Structure 1
Amino acid sequence: MIECRNIHKEYRIGHVNKTVLKGVDFDINPRDRIGLLGRNGAGKSTLIRLVGGVEMPTSGKIVRKMSCSWPLGFTGGFQGSLTGYDNARFIARIYDKPYSEMRAFVEDFTELGSNLRMPVKQYSSGMRARLAFALSLAIEFECYLIDEVIMVGDKNFRDKCKSAFFEERKDRALLLASHSLTIVKQYCNRAVVLRDGVATMYEDVAEAISVYEGL
């Protein structure tokens, strides 16, 4: 389980504090598939970064009782001057996974070929997303965090991603921020709607989508 308790998040912009999240409370249980809905600027990406530990809340706490991926869609974890292979080697070392296995999986999943020998700073956003997906999937997490990038790339790659997350890892938890109501409706069993910094959890995904469409 991942517990979010009274999460507040503010950013200092010039001489003004901007409040993004105001007392967010919800849990991610094992096998949960939670859709995260909200208009642009509602704080979806911020919340995912907080859950993933990329940022810290201004106040409140997040208790992680299961392993959690970094946010897919967040590329700040890449070292741009290193190649795709070098980034894979770095991740393998952190998570104590044999690099040969990591490399083989990344080559197969990304289909980037010789581009894996290029510095990541030269990658397009789509290439970065492919690498991010592969590196995350190469490590077996109990909860995956996805920030919209499930729709990146051509149809074959999108189908590969959907199969990896929604079929092969259907026993894992998932927090998915997406504007694709079709994906949320098809794959999620619960949903959170973010509005004005407040998160409301819905056990009925159809109800959550109806609320979101009315924002």
Structure 2
Amino acid sequence: MIRLVNLTKVFKSRQGEKYVAKKIDAIFPTGSSVALLGRNGAGKSTLLHMIAGNILPTSGQILSDGTISWPVGYAGSFHKELTGEQNVRFIARIYGMDTEAMCDFVSHFADVGPHFRQPFRTYSSGMRARLAFGTSMAIPFGTYLIDEVTAVGDTKFKRKSKFLLKARLRGASAIFVSHSSSTLRDFCDAGAVLENGKLTFYPDLEEAIAHHEESMAE
């Protein structure tokens, strides 16, 4: 379970204040895959990064009774001068994983070939995304944070990623951001709509999608 308590996030600029979250109180239930919906710029990715701990809220709390992934496929925390293998080994040690087993898994899944032992800065954007996704899937988190990750890679990699992600979610929760309603219907059973700093949770995914589509039509 993930609980947001009076959660507020505001960005200040010369144009004024922009609220991503405004005193949000919400619960993401254990065992549920929740579609996070909202317009472009509503703050969905920012909310995911706050839940992951990468961005601090302005005020309020995020409480959890389990482990939470970083946003799946996010490569921003990889050190550009280390090789892919060295990055994976470092993350494995942080999370108490078997380093050799995790390197074998990620190397095979990401399929970056000899680049696995080359500096991360030499990777293409697709290679970075594949390495990041494979690293995320190598660790058994209680909740996976997923931001458009199924759009990464060629058809073969997308199919492989979808199969593995579904396998992981059989025993875990998820908060899932995607602009594809069919993808959300494929993975999620509940939904939450973020608009104007407010979050509305729906146990029924179709109700959340209907709310979002009505908002987009206005």
Query: Alpha-carbon deviation of 1:167?
Result: 2.9
Structure 1 Cα separation of the partners of residues 12 and 75 of structure 2: 22
Query: Alpha-carbon deviation of 1:15?
Result: 7.6
Residue aligned with 2:144, SS:
strand
Residue aligned with 2:41, SS:
coil
**Contact 2:73/2:136 (<8 A) preserved:** no
Residue aligned with 2:169, SS:
coil
Residue aligned with 2:40, SS:
coil
Structure 1 Cα separation of the partners of residues 24 and 81 of structure 2: 37
**Contact 2:33/2:173 (<8 A) preserved:** yes
Q: Deviations over 1:130-173 (max 9, x none)?
A: 11111111111111001112221011111111111213431200
Give 1:173's aligned residue.
173
Query: Alpha-carbon deviation of 1:98?
Result: 2.0
**Contact 1:36/1:191 (<8 A) preserved:** yes
Residue aligned with 2:176, SS:
strand
**Contact 1:72/1:129 (<8 A) preserved:** no
Give 2:85's aligned residue.
85
> Does residue 70 of the first structure (1) align with residue 44 of the second (2)?
no
> Does residue 115 of the first structure (1) align with residue 115 of the second (2)?
yes
Where structure 1 has 5 or more consecutive residues not aligned to the other structure, the ranges are none
Query: Alpha-carbon deviation of 1:53?
Result: 0.8
Question: Normalized against structure 2, the TM-score is what?
Answer: 0.93
Structure 1 Cα separation of the partners of residues 168 and 62 of structure 2: 28
Give 1:157's aligned residue.
157
Give 2:11's aligned residue.
11
Structure 2 Cα separation of the partners of residues 87 and 68 of structure 1: 19
Give 1:55's aligned residue.
55
Where structure 2 has 5 or more consecutive residues not aligned to the other structure, the ranges are none
Query: Alpha-carbon deviation of 1:12?
Result: 3.1
Structure 2 Cα separation of the partners of residues 159 and 207 of structure 1: 28
Give 1:24's aligned residue.
24
**Contact 1:45/1:147 (<8 A) preserved:** yes
Structure 2 Cα separation of the partners of residues 22 and 168 of structure 1: 32
Q: Deviations over 1:156-212 (max 9, x none)?
A: 111111111213431200010110110111221110111111111112211211121
Give 1:129's aligned residue.
129
Structure 2 Cα separation of the partners of residues 168 and 45 of structure 1: 21
**Contact 2:20/2:47 (<8 A) preserved:** no
Structure 2 Cα separation of the partners of residues 14 and 74 of structure 1: 29
Structure 2 Cα separation of the partners of residues 15 and 209 of structure 1: 31
Structure 1 residues 97 and 9, CA gap change in structure 2 (3 angstroms): same
Q: Between the two proteins, what is the percent identity of the paired residues?
A: 42
Structure 1 residues 15 and 193, CA gap change in structure 2 (3 angstroms): closer
Structure 2 Cα separation of the partners of residues 173 and 185 of structure 1: 15
Paired amino acid for 2:68 = C
Structure 2 Cα separation of the partners of residues 119 and 11 of structure 1: 34
**Contact 1:151/1:158 (<8 A) preserved:** yes
**Contact 2:151/2:158 (<8 A) preserved:** yes
Length, aligned pairs only: 215
Structure 1 Cα separation of the partners of residues 131 and 14 of structure 2: 35
Q: Deviations over 1:62-100 (max 9, x none)?
A: 011101111124322111111111100110111122211
Residue aligned with 2:10, SS:
strand
Paired amino acid for 1:139 = I
Residue aligned with 1:4, SS:
strand
Paired amino acid for 1:186 = D
